[in-house]
Structure 1
């Protein structure tokens, strides 16, 4: 059992190393593995305090700072994720799958929450909708992109966006446009695939099909 645990930890650290190298600060490189350990480890509650109690007792504030206020850029980590996914499943036989992912949410203050179709429930409901991209081959899927969709009620309400901290530079885009931009992004990062599969709603858009 000890040898198995040691082997798993070595493999985990080797996989994580290129991602940590993309983080600019020593403290970020220290707390990122702790946060991931909390997400991957046992325990149903994945908010900061319960995770910290399991993996970093007494360090709730440091873990909270890493997650909520420590500044870091997403792009280098996303690029590394695409490279890792391509090594695992990329190639001419791989497919890129585009779909919607819904997160059921109540209230009005979480960014992007609106009454819209929720695949999780099979009907319209209050939720966030995300455009997801998954690279897959031989029944092995790896998520390489998630982008939050801003419904019109959010995209066109400057005050609401400002209160929620949505940057002005982030426009409201239809889902098919988000998907096209994401395809370009992962291709630039080096993802290899032979075909693109998408939900029927994307296929209804001529501009999406022609691209």
Structure 2
């Protein structure tokens, strides 16, 4: 299967050398290496130094979004789309320095507390046949990164990349989905009947608006903790009632500090979204 995937994306790399390095890099990520940094992955691949891995990530010209499209098409072909659900969640990557793009002291569920880290939002396609990541967005903090031109330039962040909240990143990843539950990319069609997320996306604020924009049911994880949205404090319980959830199901998550109960509710498209005004009506 791995060779089939590599054959799918091989054409995205213009030369034999970066193509071979990309293959070694992916095999390293799938290996049992404890730390997945360039040094460790280079040693796993038999390189004396991490230069090839670093050049692949930093200087080699290849289109990451095109590779994403290839992998998404491959996932859809093998997992199908019948009864599919799109799942969104974030993952934190704990860091030591301050040079990595988007790194700052912020809360990350990986550590269960505020730490120096990067945070990335991921979109997963899940069907009865399996699941696979199909998109991602790196969260770039507004004040410590987006407005610091020198820091952006040093990290190689393109000028066209601007600040986006995590919920905006989610909407951008799923915005190609039409009301008929169809997501069209350059080479595949994804039909998903619902979107499932945690409080940081649909739970905070107005999940019915996001549901309206995407035209599909929106499953939201509930919590008894108050949240802050538009400087107004409100409990998830009141949001559950206001969003006319069709029903709640108790389930369990497994964060770093152990399992905890959670409640999930489905918020349907109860009000049309008016894009021209940027709010629900």
The question of a shared fold, defined as TM-score above 0.5 by the shorter chain, is answered with yes
Higher RCO (CA < 8 A, seq sep 6+):
1
2:155 maps to 1:164: yes
**Counterpart position of 2:39:** 49
Q: Tell me, what secondary structure is at the counterpart of 2:66?
A: helix
| Contact kept? 1:49, 1:60, Cα under 8 Å | yes
CA change 1:87–1:112 in 2 (3 A) is same
Q: Cα distance, 1:61 vs. partner?
A: 3.9
Give 1 or 2: higher strand fraction.
2
Q: Which moved more, 1:79-88 or 1:31-40?
A: 31-40
| Contact kept? 1:19, 1:77, Cα under 8 Å | yes
**Counterpart position of 1:174:** 165
Q: Tell me, what secondary structure is at the counterpart of 1:191?
A: strand
| Contact kept? 1:90, 1:135, Cα under 8 Å | no
| Contact kept? 2:39, 2:49, Cα under 8 Å | no
Q: Tell me, what secondary structure is at the counterpart of 1:91?
A: coil
Give 1 or 2: higher helix fraction.
1
| Contact kept? 1:202, 1:208, Cα under 8 Å | no
- CA-to-partner distance for each residue in 1:34-64, whole Å, 9 max, x for gaps? 2222222343243333333332345754444
**Counterpart position of 1:109:** 99
CA change 1:167–1:198 in 2 (3 A) is same
2:178 maps to 1:188: no
Q: Which of the two has higher C-alpha Rg? A: 2
- What CA RMSD, in Å, does the superposition of the two structures yield over aligned residues? 2.4
**Counterpart position of 2:259:** none
- CA-to-partner distance for each residue in 1:93-116, whole Å, 9 max, x for gaps? 111001121112234322212222
| Contact kept? 1:34, 1:56, Cα under 8 Å | no
Q: Which runs of 5+ in 2 are unaligned?
A: 178-182, 214-281
Aligned residues: 201
Q: Tell me, what secondary structure is at the counterpart of 1:146?
A: strand
**Counterpart position of 1:6:** none
